[in-house]
Homo-oligomer: A and B are copies of this chain.
Amino acid sequence: MNQAETFLETVKNRTSCRNYLDEDLSDEEINFCLEAARLAPSACNKQPWRFIVVKDLETRTRICRDGLLPGIPMPWLKTVPVIIALCAERATSTHRLAPLFSGVNYELIDCGIAGEHLVLAAETLGLGSCWIGWFKPGKIRRLLKLPRSLKPVSLISLGRPEKKTEPRSRLELKNIARINKW
């Protein structure tokens, strides 16, 4: 396969993993994923992303017990060896002033970009991951000692998949893309 085909395979094989082996990851694996995220593009190159890599069992247990919003049970999260808290550090010019003109909170787009670099990198290593947005921001802030300048925007689970999750359906291209105008 050429580079493009390999990339599309990676994209197709990435599914949100909710079954993990209770097995640690190596620092090399974690750092590979972080390195891919570090190199992501961002508005004005501000790189607003910050990552707290939670490996400590007690902290992970408290995230699972106190840090998640109710209504979507995530028992599988208890066996994930690494929970990454993705946070945004907002710069005054790019993240507070510029959105007044463009209407866009760039730090969220940029955190999406960097987080997905991490997720795709994990997939290329054979690791599983899952974006988790359903958390209590105040609890996460206290558990991870986040300063006021950092806003938690997502958790990402990272570990060795126990089994492959089937991909969920997607809208057809004709429903999400049009030519020249909507």
Q: Which residues of A contact B (CB under 8 A)?
A: 3-4, 6-12, 14, 16, 31-32, 34-36, 38-41, 43, 45, 47, 49-56, 59, 69, 87, 98, 101-106, 108-113, 115-117, 119-121, 124-125, 131, 133-137, 143-147, 150-151, 153-154, 167-171, 173, 176-182
A sample of 5 inter-chain contacts (CB < 8 A) reads A41-B116, A41-B131, A47-B170, A51-B178, A116-B117
Interface of A (DSSP majority class): mixed
- Are A178 and B52 closer than 8 Å at their CB atoms? yes
- Are B144 and A182 closer than 8 Å at their CB atoms? yes
Q: Which of B102, B124, B178 contacts A4 (CB 8 A)?
A: B124
Minimum distance in angstroms from A52 CB to a CB of chain B? 6
Question: Which residue of chain B is the closest to A69 with respect to CB atoms?
Answer: B101
**B residues near A52, Cβ cutoff 8 Å:** 177-182
CA distance A98 to B136 in the complex (A): 11
- Are B53 and A41 closer than 8 Å at their CB atoms? no
Minimum distance in angstroms from A38 CB to a CB of chain B? 6
- Are A102 and B69 closer than 8 Å at their CB atoms? yes
Minimum distance in angstroms from A132 CB to a CB of chain B? 9
CA distance A6 to B156 in the complex (A): 23
CA distance A10 to B115 in the complex (A): 16
